[in-house]
Amino acid sequence: MSSLWHETAALPSFPTLHENIKADILIIGGGLAGLLTAYLLKEKGLSPVILESGKICGGTTGNTTAKITFQHGLIYSDLIKKGAETAKAYYEANRQALEKYRELSKNIKCDFETKDNYIYSTDSRQKIEAELNALRIIGAKGTFAENLSLPFDTVGAVKTESQAQFHPLLFASHIAKALRIYENSRVIEMKGNTAVTETGSVKAENVIVTTHFPFINKHGLYSLKLYQHRSYVIALENGAELDGMYLDEKENGLSFRNYRNLLLLGGGDHRTGKKGGNYTELRQKAKDFYPKAQEKFHWAAQDCMSLDSMPYIGSYSKSTHNLYTLTGFNKWGMTGAMSGALILSDLLLGKTNPYAEFFSPSRSMLTGQIFLNGAESLLGYLYPTVKRCPHLGCALRYNKAEHSWDCPCHGSRFTKSGRVINGPANGNLK
Ligand SMILES: Cc1cc2nc3c(=O)[nH]c(=O)nc-3n(C[C@H](O)[C@H](O)[C@H](O)COP(=O)(O)OP(=O)(O)OC[C@H]3O[C@@H](n4cnc5c(N)ncnc54)[C@H](O)[C@@H]3O)c2cc1C
């Protein structure tokens, strides 16, 4: 079954690349990050070309929950440990992204709705208070909320007003129509600044990699700097009409939002390739909380998790020139993609962007997660099996909930017959 978004929006189609062309800017990957970057660059008078391996928004963007908010869990009490400047830059970049959506959505029919957002806790009022304190320090507005419209007890929530939710594919469909896109045109190799597909090539002055997990392994150490985390969503009829968008502060907690008459319940998360709650956990929660509800849609997807909870936006690596990326959204790629597109469009036009240095993929970030990612890869190489990921050779695990072969190291996924579903692997199983 495809997601609610795919079932209720018709995306435009684009041709396959069948020639060798030149472009001032090439964007590889037609999810929200690629589309928004191209759209903003076009707004500023440039002529970007997008190469997409399948259909646009066929990856995580088509399988999201599409809350647009600068409130990403309890992130500010975490970021402020690095310094108020970092937390403030993150807040401002994401706040501006939210406002840019508000501005664009005035002219795009995408069911954009202003909503309050709540990050709740079931057991720690202290964490809620720490987040409110961090918001106060950086000059952001947040209030304590209790008696929430959720079907279980909480100790309270951080509430931020005037956030938003939308239909991501109605939005993407509109902006894509203005762009020069080639679909079914997977980039299989980079030869200098020329991207090669099976049927053509694009030679570009600047290349931006928005393939979700960057697929060029030679530079940037993304196999150590990223891993992928999977989440599940079910859409319920006769669930509940909530007064806002809700998310548990715990990594594996539940997410709630409405879309028209449906309640979208998200959760069941786990590192890709590992075991987790998946649909089983979500369906049990739905039965407990909304016994009269019926499931209308279900879908799952994964996102790239960075080392320090902030995306990687900017030059692909210290040693590369005219090669950029936009990734590591930590499940917040709606505002992440927009703030990334705003930063990159400034960088490509030679303008200074006040947030660029905070999001640079080459920033210093020695965290415990880098060792965990390294250890996971080592285990993957040593684990005895014949099914190995073509990306870097890790052992694949069978995912019974979705009948796929998944890589616990970097999150590539394959169908039973070996067709690649998610990168960084850039081709099928042999
Ligand atoms: C279940 C779930 C719920 C979420 N909910 C929210 C939310 O409420 N709010 C929020 O802010 N964020 C949310 N996110 C995160 C957000 O959806 C993602 O961060 C965002 O969609 C990522 O967009 P992207 O363009 O980077 O990736 P994608 O949408 O995956 O796009 C990448 C594209 O690159 C293409 N590609 C890959 N390799 C190649 C190649 N070699 N050549 C050409 N093309 C290639 C792929 O086919 C794909 O279309 C959620 C994520 C999940 C998993």
- CATH code (residue 317): 3.50.50.60
Instruction: Check if 48 has its Cβ closer than 6 Å to any atom of ligand 1.
Output: no
- State the residue range of the domain holding 409: 368-422
Instruction: Check if 53 has its Cβ closer than 6 Å to any atom of ligand 1.
Output: yes
User: Could you tell me if 382 and 245 lie in one domain?
Assistant: no
38 located within any domain: yes
Helix spans in 323-395 (H): 333-348, 356-359, 368-382
pLDDT at 172 over 90: yes
> Residue 16's CB: how many other CB atoms inside 10 A?
14
Q: How many angstroms is it from 61 CA to the middle of ligand 1?
A: 4
Q: How many angstroms is it from 307 CA to the middle of ligand 1?
A: 18
User: Could you tell me if 234 and 315 lie in one domain?
Assistant: no
Atom 35 of ligand 1: nearest residue by CA position? 29
Instruction: Check if 332 has its Cβ closer than 6 Å to any atom of ligand 1.
Output: yes
**CATH (domain of 161):** 3.30.9.10
Give the residue among 227, 285, 275 at the shortest CA–CA distance from 255.
285
200 located within any domain: yes
Instruction: Check if 424 has its Cβ closer than 6 Å to any atom of ligand 1.
Output: no
User: Could you tell me if 161 and 270 lie in one domain?
Assistant: yes
pLDDT score, position 136: 98
pLDDT score, position 372: 85
pLDDT level of residue 175 (50, 70, 90 thresholds): very high
149 located within any domain: yes
**In contact, 416 and 405? CB cutoff 8 Å:** yes
Atom 26 of ligand 1: nearest residue by CA position? 212
Q: Give me the phi and psi of 291, to 5 degrees please.
A: -60, -20
346 located within any domain: yes
56 located within any domain: yes
How many domains does the chain contain in total? 3
**In contact, 77 and 133? CB cutoff 8 Å:** yes
Within 8 A by CB and 6+ apart from 256, the residues are: 150, 242, 245, 246, 247, 263, 264, 265, 266
> Residue 294's CB: how many other CB atoms inside 10 A?
11
Q: How many angstroms is it from 159 CA to the middle of ligand 1?
A: 26
Element (H, E) at 405: strand 404-406
Name the CA radius of gyration of the chain, rounded. Answer: 21
Instruction: Check if 94 has its Cβ closer than 6 Å to any atom of ligand 1.
Output: no
Identify any residues that bridge with 246 across adjacent strands, giving them in sequence order: 118, 256
Q: What is the pTM assigned to this prediction?
A: 0.96
pLDDT score, position 37: 98
pLDDT score, position 386: 75
Instruction: Check if 211 has its Cβ closer than 6 Å to any atom of ligand 1.
Output: yes
Exposed e or buried b per residue across 367-376, where buried means at least 16 C-beta atoms within 10 angstroms of its C-beta: eebeeebeeb
pLDDT tens, 332-386? 999 999 999 999 999 999 999 999 999 999 998 877 788 788 788 888 778 777 7
- Look-up of token digits 């997410």: 255
pLDDT tens, 55-84? 999 999 999 999 999 999 999 999 999 999
User: Could you tell me if 200 and 332 lie in one domain?
Assistant: yes
Mutate which of 55, 61, 247 for ligand 1? The one with the most ligand atoms within 8 Å of its CB, which is: 61
**In contact, 246 and 255? CB cutoff 8 Å:** yes
pLDDT tens, 238-296? 999 999 999 999 988 999 999 999 999 999 999 999 999 999 999 999 999 999 999 99
Q: How many angstroms is it from 273 CA to the middle of ligand 1?
A: 18
pLDDT tens, 26-47? 999 999 999 999 999 999 999 9
Instruction: Check if 212 has its Cβ closer than 6 Å to any atom of ligand 1.
Output: yes
pLDDT score, position 364: 83
Give the residue among 187, 177, 180, 245 at the shortest CA–CA distance from 216.
187
Give the residue among 263, 246, 89 at the shortest CA–CA distance from 160.
246
81 located within any domain: no
pLDDT score, position 370: 82
Q: Give me the phi and psi of 70, to 5 degrees please.
A: -90, 0
Instruction: Check if 267 has its Cβ closer than 6 Å to any atom of ligand 1.
Output: no
CA separation for the pair 313, 327 (Å, rounded):
7
Q: Is the dihedral of CA 270, 276, 280, 285 positive or negative?
A: negative
CA separation for the pair 179, 110 (Å, rounded):
18
Instruction: Check if 41 has its Cβ closer than 6 Å to any atom of ligand 1.
Output: no
Instruction: Check if 303 has its Cβ closer than 6 Å to any atom of ligand 1.
Output: yes
Q: What integer is the mean pLDDT of 201-210? A: 98
CA separation for the pair 287, 237 (Å, rounded):
12
Q: How many angstroms is it from 23 CA to the middle of ligand 1?
A: 24
Within 8 A by CB and 6+ apart from 372, the residues are: none
Atom 31 of ligand 1: nearest residue by CA position? 31
User: Could you tell me if 246 and 379 lie in one domain?
Assistant: no
Element (H, E) at 173: helix 168-176
pLDDT tens, 114-158? 999 999 999 999 999 999 999 999 999 999 999 999 999 999 999
Angle, vertex CA 259, rays to CA 255 and CA 263, nearest 5: 50
pLDDT level of residue 430 (50, 70, 90 thresholds): confident
Burial (CB count within 10 angstroms: exposed 0-12, middle 13-18, buried 19+), residue 126: exposed
